[in-house]
Amino acid sequence: MIDAVKRWEKRVVVTGVSFDDSPQNIDRNLLPVHISYRVIQSQVEGNLVYPFYREPRQVSQPRQFRASVGK
């Protein structure tokens, strides 16, 4: 996360990153990411919360193959 912000947002310095992996968020397939930063030019600090949603894992049925006899 820090590397991505450093690469794509040159105007800020990341001062902290945390994740909220509480059971209520896990049950909703949600992982809020809290990013604290400081704007380089003005030295103003700020925070951003970005919610990542996971897709529920699908259990796939095993594939069945039929043997074909050549003609």
Q: CATH no. for residue 37? A: 3.10.450.40
Q: Give the pLDDT of residue 69.
A: 58
Query: If you count DSSP H runs as helices and E runs as strands, how many of each does the chain have, helices first?
Result: 2, 3
Whether 70 has a pLDDT exceeding 60, the answer reads: no
To the nearest whole number, what is the mean pLDDT of the chain?
76
Whether 1 has a pLDDT exceeding 60, the answer reads: yes
Q: Give the pLDDT of residue 8.
A: 86
Task: Kindly state whether residue 60 falls inside one of the protein's structural domains.
Answer: no
Task: State the distance between the two ends of the chain, measured CA to CA, in whole angstroms.
Answer: 57
pLDDT 10s digits, 17-68: 888 878 887 777 888 888 898 888 888 887 777 666 666 655 555 556 565 5
* Structure tokens that stand for 64 in this block: 């069945």
Task: Kindly state whether residue 65 falls inside one of the protein's structural domains.
Answer: no
**Sheet holding 30-39: strands in order across?**
12-19, 30-39, 45-53
Residue the block writes with tokens 């800020």: 12
41 is in which domain, residue-wise? 2-53
